[in-house]
Structure 1
């Protein structure tokens, strides 16, 4: 007996926000458990969040998110749909894809090219839409301060995709500069931006696009203005108060989030 948990032994914790229909939490739990049945590594924990939007005008008011700890590595999926039960079905599909990709590429390191099969147009289509708030009602709702992980851009891409995020802030292992990798929604390719010059990555631009536009130095309020003017989902900037790379981004609730390295 190995003592490792099977998926059915994992307590899939489901929490709900808004008027989630009766039975949706149990349905989502079973969908996630069915997905975890096919995971050969030990599943240490699984969390699901179901959110039913208050606004009746939202085209896809039901959002479902899952975060699974597979042997110490987090894998995340996030979808939206017209009904919560449909969202649970989509969550199962997207989580299955994320887990398969994480398993194929192993604990660290890519096989093949960085671009290999990461882009999932259907998955992108089912991402939740951001709520629109008037500029005067927007504020920084969440501030995260942490020590960015030192890693290669290739490993940062793996973490970006495993967590189903739009960007991933990290410190480049080779250069020591704060950097960000992100997915270009127009092409599906990954790109890298850094506070300092890039070296070896320029030799592999066919695998990972490198931004040549200098990262602007600005204050947080100036970053807010830039985010509003450009309409981008996030801005990567050199915080003039700290000299570190930070990311200001649009949250799905229409407010802002700020991620900054600990000093």
Structure 2
């Protein structure tokens, strides 16, 4: 089966027409080869540059397949590297989703099928953290959190190429964050301490203390003082809700909060 859906391409910064056309040439065949209906497909190509910044291009591909959102993103010094890497990441994730859909049809929905450690092209970190000024909060957004167990959260994180995933624990309802790290490869952070999850297939380590209570300004100071960290998960003392402050590609910060 092939798809006739073409990706809508959006560009930001000094992106050339040839670079935008390369997006269609490289990403288009990946979308056309998907063996399931595509409800949506879009690509964003952004070039960051400045007098005190190294050149960086970020390619992000988003498709909706079988009601699942799949995303692949890569940053690189050149548009060619970013586009090719994002297309490769999309191919891996679509294959992963295909295996999942086949397992659902067969009645075997074990999330361990196919393994939990994808071989993905690395995203260079800290490339834009060279400005000689404190970073600041430039964007704040809220969203309704999916109520999931750690397995479902890990699968969502892998399909969407997230470095972390904020979700609501299906047992307690508490805000939780899953990210790649710790001795097992995946680590779970929570706003409240509770029993470790059971019956999970994802290799998981659980932090044994709750997310620290701090205000947004404190979280900004904490992340700004630790360039190696990509995010801070904390509990807002004003409402007891878990929030994530994370680092954008331009070096500044964005805040993610639960909408309910």
What TM-score does the superposition give when structure 2 sets the normalisation length? 0.86
Indicate if the aligned counterparts of 2:58 and 2:73 stay in contact, CA closer than 8 A.
yes
Cα deviation 1:100-133 (Å, max 9, x = unaligned): 11222339854327x924342x522x44644126
Match of residue 49 from structure 2? 54
1:139: which partner in 2? 136
Unaligned runs of 5+ in 1: none
Tell me what 1:165 maps to: 162
1:202 to partner: Cα distance: 6.2
Shift of 1:57: 7.2
Residue 216 in 1 paired to residue 215 in 2? no
Where in structure 2 are the equivalents of 1:22-61 lying within 5 Å?
Answer: 22-55=17-50, 61=56
Q: Please tell me whether residue 176 in structure 1 is matched to residue 173 in structure 2.
A: yes
Call closer, same or farther: CA 1:212–1:201 in 2, change over 3 Å.
same
What per-residue deviation string (whole Å, max 9, x for no partner) do you get for residues 161-202 of structure 1? 111111111110112211111111x76811111112332526
Alpha-carbon spacing, 1:213–1:119, altered in 2? closer, same or farther (3 Å):
farther
- Mapping for residues 8-157 of structure 1, pairs under 5 Å: 9-55=4-50, 61-106=56-101, 110-112=110-112, 116-120=115-119, 122-124=120-122, 126-127=123-124, 129-132=126-129, 134=131, 136-157=133-154
Query: Number of residues paired by the alignment?
Result: 254
| Deviation (angstroms), 1:143 | 0.7
Corresponding position of 1:228: 224
Counterpart secondary structure, 1:61: strand
User: What secondary structure is seen at the aligned counterpart in 2 of 1:252?
Assistant: coil
Any gaps of 5 or more consecutive residues in structure 2? Answer: none
Say if 2:163 and 2:179, in contact at 8 Å, map to a contact too: yes
Separation of aligned partners in 1, 2:59 and 2:259? 30
Find the partner of 1:251 among 240, 248, 252. Answer: 248
Residues 61 and 83 in structure 1, CA contact (< 8 A), matched pair in contact too:
yes
Q: Where does residue 197 of structure 1 map in the other structure?
A: 193
Q: CA RMSD in A?
A: 2.7
> Aligned partners of 1:194 and 1:238: how far apart in 2?
9
Q: Is the 8 A contact 1:238 1:244 kept in 2?
A: yes
Q: TM-score, normalised by structure 1?
A: 0.85
Measured at CA, do residues 145 and 39 of structure 1 come closer, stay the same or move farther in structure 2, by a change above 3 Å?
same
Q: Deviations over 1:141-176 (max 9, x none)?
A: 111122211111110111111111111111101122
